[in-house]
Structure 1
Amino acid sequence: MTGAILVGGLIGLVLLGMPIGFALGIIGLSLLLMLGTAPLDIVPISLFDGSNSFPLLAIPLFMLVGELMDACNLSRRLVSFAGSLVGFIRGGLAQVVVITSMFFAEISGSAVAGAAALGSVLIPEMKKKGYPEGFAAALVSVAATMAIILPPSVPMILYGVMAGVSVAKLFIAGIIPGIIVAASLMIVNYCYARKYGFDVEQNFSVSNVGKTFKEAFWALMIPVIILGGILGGIFTPTEAAAIAAVAAFIIGSVIYRELKWNMLPKMLLGAANQTAVVMIIIATSALVGWFLTSERIPQGLANSVMAVTNNPILVLAILNVFFLIVGMIMHSAAAIIMLVPILMPLVHELGIDPIHFGIIVTINLGIGQQTPPVASVLLTTCSVGNVPLVKTFKYLKVFIAVMLVILAIITYIPIISTWLPSIL
């Protein structure tokens, strides 16, 4: 009964247009008042404890890195370099979208940020070259999803905090699945290119690769710093975020000389706004989490599922369907913060690797970001590319089908996610 009130009330408030963070706070406070025995001083304590976590400090820092590099005309440098690498393939501009999205994912950690930055550059260019605008928007949107699978993924940071697992291991675990997603999208692009007769973008030239690499070199150093430091055990993901922010500032202001001091207030405000949205959700969800823990709802849920089946294969199938539905109606950050603490007892009970489960959750929510009614990444892409949403559906269903196949493969072949963290 309590769970129905919680879910129903939350969905109702969100559908009425209330921000998810405020909706969580209202629901959490209402549940405490209904309980009657809980002291109200638990409210400020939960709000503070929920957001008082060292790994969460990485979120505003990675947001700032994205703002800094976007101000340095980073997108066009990465597009040029990606074009020199894959522009000779049939449908070269579509392949450039995938490769550039990979580069940008390693910097921003946000699918929405990647879709906004790259969509404004690549969608108009694809329209000029004769690509259907619906295909262009659908591709940019789905490719941007790699930002939550590849490090430094903001949803992975949230999952690591909520599940109590290593954020660094999650980052490493996302590398191979991210590469699989990129390769799969490129195969789909090639099939579309053969069908519609898309041309190559440019002939392959070693000198052009060298020239564009030189122009994009310092931009490419940001993911090298992030991944190299974490994989090498030199610093934690949070420390990597701080170092990357300093490096991005130096690159933008000293090397590229496109970052001016008078631009800093706007960038800091942009990073603060994005961070505030996430942190309010985290703080208010902690209040709901306290109630759920005190009422032992996670344990009850685990026992209920185990009473139906204790087969990990079936349970993972059920959880995949559940997260796919949740991803359609809820922001990824809210879904992780809200649901992961509830489901972790079940995950541990069945012996599912929490790192592997984290990759499953992020891919599920990445697919959800492409599907209405919420479809945050898809709507952002259509907005910046000036493409009607309905025109994307013809192509989007193919990309989503491919993502679902990848999800099934990664779900039932856990070594794809767990092998790299185990050897590093």
Structure 2
Amino acid sequence: MTAFLFTSFLGALFIGLPVVVALGGASLLYVWLQGDLPLLVVVHRMVNGIDSFPLLAVPFFIMTGNLMNSAGITDRIFNFAIASIGWAKGGLGHVNVFASVIFAGMSGTAVADAGGLGTIEIKAMRDNKYPDHFAIGITAASSVIGPIIPPSLPLVIYGVMANASIGQLFAAGILPGLLIALVLFLWVAIEARVRGYPRDAHFTWVRLARSTWRALLPLMTPVILIGGMKSGVFTPTEAAIAATAYALLLGLAVYRSLGWNRLVRVSMDTIETTSIVLVIVAGASIFGWLVTTTRISEQMAEAVLSVTENRALVLLLVNLVLLVVGCFMETIAAITILVPVLLPLVTKVGVDPVHFGIIMTLNLVIGLLTPPVGMVLYILARIAERSFEYVTKSVLPFLVPLFVALAIVTYWPSFVLYLPTVLYR
């Protein structure tokens, strides 16, 4: 019956059914064939799966990213990044990464970063005669920072599924996010020296002061969120509401760049995306419950530990599994399915659940840059008006620095857990 549960789920995915139909359908068939439980338990478990206070953060973080994009705030962030670091060799490559670091503190998703900043970044790099493969590759790679630096939508979902502190997960994502930015800065610097990319802006204090003044209020978003959570003014869930209110204030009252028609469109996009996310969480809840009650996760842990109890090897195996899954499955769906399976395994070899949350999220968002399901690749193919194959080839070299960052995050737990320890423990 356990084999039937996974076979029916994978079979449904293979024939092209949506993830939520595969999850719910496989679970429903399992319960029906077992005959021990009423079929209504499937509905109850799905409802209970989304009856969670932390999940209230989902629609608000999604709407915040949409508002920032629609209100023209991304332009202010990009201009500030040019004034700050555009003077370096390969300047717009560095600007690309720096802008993603700033925008990560507002959007929380790689897709919002690629779709919002990507349009501006690729056009600017083309205008300055950068080759398309470099512009596309660095735009894709820098979008990975979005789900790591708080606020992060995947970390909210992981916290709910793993029963882990979302505040600690947010704190744990800050240093790894900055690490990804650092390795990408180094990669751009090497590319710029080898290929002779120019400096794209002369540094002047006047220009920096003007761009800082124009971007000051958007730049305060992560400060408000992290400061509010640390001081106890609001919880991570309430921080999502505060972020949305702040974005609305900027778009409607301060900059007046967000009209009512655009606000309605943003609201509809948010509702659509939120519905997709929550339906996936609901379907994964019953699937995860069956995995737990049938002791599948414990049996898997025992099977792996019977081969090796070496923590480094177990983490290597888990990373390989996550990278492969990330190639074929959307991040949130993968988190909701795999947390009940993999978390018991890694905790048995002494991995902190908060540390594992960062490992899992980073692995899966790297999957957004790999075919066949890499959502960021499809977005950039549309923005750059290039073929999916061309975009994929452009991104492949930039996976190298991301894998370096992943290795450091995986095998240096004290680096990841430093801020959660200081702030929460």
TM-score by length of 2: 0.96
User: C-alpha distance in 2, partners of 1:88/1:9?
Assistant: 55
Corresponding position of 1:215: 214
By how many angstroms is 1:290 displaced? 2.1
Higher mean alpha-carbon deviation, 6-15 vs 372-381, is at: 6-15
The yes-or-no answer on 1:345 pairing with 2:328 is: no
Taking the aligned partners of 2:374 and 2:5, their CA distance within structure 1 comes to 23
TM-superposed CA distance for 1:77, in Å, is: 0.7
1:290 aligns to 2:289 (yes or no): yes
Identity among equivalent positions (%) equals: 39
Taking the TM superposition and a 5 Å limit, the aligned residue runs for 1:381-420 are 381-420=380-419
Tell me the equivalent position of 1:355: 354
Q: CA RMSD in A?
A: 1.4
For 1:104, the aligned partner's letter is: F
Deviations 1:315-347 (A, max 9, x none): 111101111111111111011000101222222
2: CA distance between counterparts of 1:377 and 1:34? 39
1:67 alignment counterpart: 66
Q: Distance in 1 between matches of 2:212 and 2:247?
A: 17
Identify the residue that residue 379 of structure 1 maps to in structure 2.
Answer: 378
Aligned residues of 2:314 and 2:346 also touching (Cα < 8 A) = no
Q: Residue type matched to 1:2 in 2?
A: T
Aligned residue identity for 1:231: K
- 1:278-311 CA-to-partner distances (Å, cap 9, x unmatched) read 1010001111122212211111111111211112
Given the alignment of the two structures, is residue 250 of structure 1 paired with residue 262 of structure 2, yes or no? no
Q: Per the alignment, in what secondary structure is the counterpart of residue 235 of structure 1?
A: coil
Match of 2:420 in 1: 421
- 1:9 CA drift (Å): 3.3
Separation of aligned partners in 2, 1:90 and 1:281? 44
Q: Deviation per CA, 1:74-104: give whole Å up to 9, x if none.
A: 1111110000000000011111110111111
Looking at structure 2, the residues matched to 6 and 15 of structure 1 have their Cα atoms a distance apart, in angstroms, of 14
Distance in 2 (CA, whole Å) between partners of 1:379 and 1:395 is 13
Is the partner of 1:258 in helix, strand or coil?
coil
Partner of 2:307 in structure 1?
Answer: 308
Number of the residue aligned with 2:128: 129
Map 1:142-221 onto structure 2 (within 5 A).
142-221=141-220
1:57 maps onto 2:56 in alignment: yes
Match of 2:2 in 1: 2
Aligned residue type for 1:247: Y
Q: Which residue of 2 aligns with 1:28?
A: 27
1:18: how far off?
2.2
- Which shows bigger deviation, 412-421 or 380-389? 380-389
TM-superposed deviation, 1:264: 2.2
**Displacement after TM superposition at 1:393 (Å):** 4.3
Q: Match of 2:237, SS?
A: helix
Whether contact under 8 Å (1:229, 1:240) holds in the other structure is yes
Checking the alignment, whether the CA contact within 8 Å between 1:138 and 1:378 is kept in structure 2 is no
CA 8–92 in structure 1, closer or farther in 2 if over 3 Å, else same:
farther
**In 2, Cα distance between the equivalents of 1:29 and 1:302?**
25
1:388, CA displacement in angstroms? Answer: 2.2
Deviation at 1:192, TM superposition (A): 1.1
1:241-271 superposed Cα distances (whole Å, 9 cap, x missing partner)? 1111111111111110112223222111111
- Stretch deviating more after TM superposition (190-199 or 143-152): 190-199
Are positions 1:281 and 2:257 aligned together? Answer: no
Give the TM-score, by structure 1 length.
Answer: 0.97
Quote how far apart the aligned CAs of 1:139 are: 1.1
C-alpha displacement of 1:394:
4.5
Q: Structure 1: any 5+ residue segments left out of the alignment?
A: none
How many aligned positions are there?
423
CA gap 1:288/1:394 in 2 versus in 1, 3 angstroms: closer
Cα deviation, 1:145-174, whole Å, max 9, x if unaligned, reads: 111111111110111111111011011101
Q: CA deviation at 1:43?
A: 1.4
Indicate conservation of the 8 Å contact 2:371/2:392, yes or no: no
* Aligned twin of 1:271: 270
d(CA) in 2 for partners of 1:290, 1:9:
16
- Deviates further, 283-292 or 225-234: 225-234
Stretch moving more, 151-160 or 117-126: 117-126
Q: Which residue of the partner structure matches residue 298 of structure 2?
A: 299
Q: Whole-Å Cα distance in 2 between the matches of residues 251 and 75 of structure 1?
A: 12
Map of 1:89-128 to 2, 5 A cutoff?
A: 89-128=88-127
* Other structure's SS at 2:369 match: coil
Equivalents in 2 of 1:167, 1:300: separation in Å? 28
